[in-house]
């Protein structure tokens, strides 16, 4: 699988660009009354490296870039986040410090698309800021991170991965005391009522990660299934996840939050695999799948759940990471 460089955001005003002006014309697309968050493909090295996002609405697309001195995590960071109101993006940012070891520090960055301003929070190990997800009201961010550097050394190899919630207004970080071991780069997803998180934890007896629903207040959890990349539907009735149990087939399965009613809605055969799970439409009636082939091919496919019809929206350029209702 090719190493895709994911992106961070830059606080600079960049012009609105028609979709065809960025990469190939089929690289991005619009959906009615929606804002979509796309990742870029690999970026060539420069003396001042940077990484980019593409935020697309029906009015056009905006390219935003990692701020000076920071770069976005690559494969170590699973998923940036688009806020439900399409007004913010959250991402893990890293930079080298000035120590002789050139230690890499990671912070959580939240960028306001309205105010064109950054806020950064915390200091974590270089692999520390993993999956990020906004709460339904957009006021908090849940994320997976390694704990900060140990006193007196610049290494993080043995530091545990913990689940935390950030209050954006106050900067307060609150750990969630679930005792399970988060899978490396585990994806997270928030329930629409704001009471639960679905996460990917390691591991079952078959060494496959498990989908766990965690009560935020108590830290208690319930295992739903074996799989990866949980994504909670906006209506709260389904959690989509990727089932890897059959080594020859990858399946996107929907399951109710109580663990019942599992059903396969999309299946890939051969060398194709789902990358970063499924992305729900704001109303919960459609799913977007990022599908990648081992030799480098890539498709973005959209499934209409009511009809069961799947259509290819773009090929070989950009993957979709977030889908929110467009601001008016």
pLDDT, averaged across the chain: 79
pLDDT confidence of 20, banded at 50, 70, 90? very low
Task: Report pLDDT for 126.
Answer: 61
CA 38, CA 318: separation in Å to the nearest integer?
Answer: 6
Of 50-54, 161-165, 255-259, 260-264, the one with minimum mean pLDDT is 50-54
CA 121, CA 126: separation in Å to the nearest integer?
Answer: 14
Tokens representing residue 136 in the block: 């339904």
112 CB burial (10 A radius; 0-12, 13-18, 19+): middle
pTM: 0.84
CA 135, CA 196: separation in Å to the nearest integer?
Answer: 10
Tokens representing residue 2 in the block: 């090719």
Q: Which of 50-64, 104-118, 303-317 has the highest mean pLDDT?
A: 303-317
- Average pLDDT of span 161-176: 91
Higher pLDDT, 107 or 126: 107
CA 318, CA 5: separation in Å to the nearest integer?
Answer: 11
Higher pLDDT, 5 or 154: 154
Cβ within 8 Å of residue 115, ≥6 positions away: none
Is pLDDT above 90 for 106?
no
Q: Count of CB atoms within 10 A of residue 323's CB? A: 21
The answer to whether residues 259 and 243 touch, using CB atoms and an 8 Å cutoff, is no
Of 259, 258, 260, 264, the closest CA to residue 244 belongs to 264
pLDDT confidence of 49, banded at 50, 70, 90? very low
Tokens representing residue 159 in the block: 């530091």
Q: Which of 1-10, 69-78, 109-118, 151-160 has the highest mean pLDDT?
A: 109-118
CA 109, CA 165: separation in Å to the nearest integer?
Answer: 14
CA 210, CA 285: separation in Å to the nearest integer?
Answer: 25
Identify the bridge partners of residue 166 per DSSP, sorted by sequence position: 141, 173
- Average pLDDT of span 108-132: 80
Q: Going from the N-terminus, what domains does the chain have, and what CATH number goes with each?
A: 16-325 (2.120.10.30)
Mark 158-183 as b/e (b = at least 16 C-beta within 10 Å). Answer: ebebbbbbbebeeeebeebebebebb
Is pLDDT above 80 for 159?
no
Instruction: Give the C-alpha distances (Å, rounded to integers) separating 189 from 82, 168, 210, 240, 287.
Output: 12, 18, 14, 10, 15
Higher pLDDT, 179 or 8: 179
CA 313, CA 198: separation in Å to the nearest integer?
Answer: 28
- In sequence order, what E strands does 130-193 have? 132-134, 140-146, 161-167, 173-175, 181-182, 188-190
CA 274, CA 229: separation in Å to the nearest integer?
Answer: 9
**Beta pairing, strands 286-293 & 298-304:** antiparallel
The residue with tokens 């329930």 is 191
Q: Which of 156-160, 217-221, 295-299 has the highest mean pLDDT?
A: 217-221
Mark 95-108 as b/e (b = at least 16 C-beta within 10 Å). Answer: beeeeeeebbbbbb
């Amino acid at each position: 699988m090719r190493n895709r460089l994911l992106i961070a955001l830059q606080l600079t005003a960049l012009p609105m660009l028609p979709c065809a002006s960025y990469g190939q014309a089929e690289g991005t697309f619009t959906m009615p009354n929606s804002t979509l968050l796309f990742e870029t493909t690999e970026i060539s090295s420069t003396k001042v490296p940077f990484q980019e996002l593409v935020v697309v609405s029906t009015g056009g697309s905006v390219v935003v870039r990692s701020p000076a001195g920071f770069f976005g995590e690559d494969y170590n960071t699973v998923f940036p986040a688009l806020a439900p109101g399409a007004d913010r993006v959250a991402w893990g940012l890293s930079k080298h410090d000035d120590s002789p070891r050139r230690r890499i520090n990671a912070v959580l960055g939240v960028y306001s698309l309205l105010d064109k301003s950054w806020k950064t929070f915390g200091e974590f190990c270089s692999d520390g800021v993993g999956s990020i997800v906004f709460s339904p009201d957009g006021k908090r961010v849940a994320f997976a991170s390694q704990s900060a550097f140990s006193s007196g050394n610049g290494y993080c190899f043995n530091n545990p991965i913990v689940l935390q919630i950030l209050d954006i207004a106050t900067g307060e970080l609150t750990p969630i005391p679930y005792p399970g071991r988060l899978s490396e780069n585990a994806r997270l997803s928030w329930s629409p009522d704001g009471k639960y998180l679905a996460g990917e934890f390691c591991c079952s007896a078959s060494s496959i990660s498990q989908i766990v629903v965690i009560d935020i207040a108590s830290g208690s959890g319930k295992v739903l299934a074996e799989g990866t990349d949980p994504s909670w539907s906006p209506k709260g009735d389904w959690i989509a996840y990727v089932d890897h149990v059959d080594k020859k087939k990858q399946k996107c399965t929907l399951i109710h939050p109580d663990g019942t009613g599992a059903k396969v809605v999309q299946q890939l055969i051969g060398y194709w695999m789902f990358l970063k799970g499924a992305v729900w439409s704001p109303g919960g009636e459609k799913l977007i799948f990022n599908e990648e082939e081992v030799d480098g091919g890539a498709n973005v496919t959209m499934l209409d759940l009511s009809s069961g019809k799947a259509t290819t929206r773009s090929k070989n350029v950009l993957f979709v990471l977030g889908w929110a209702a467009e601001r008016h």
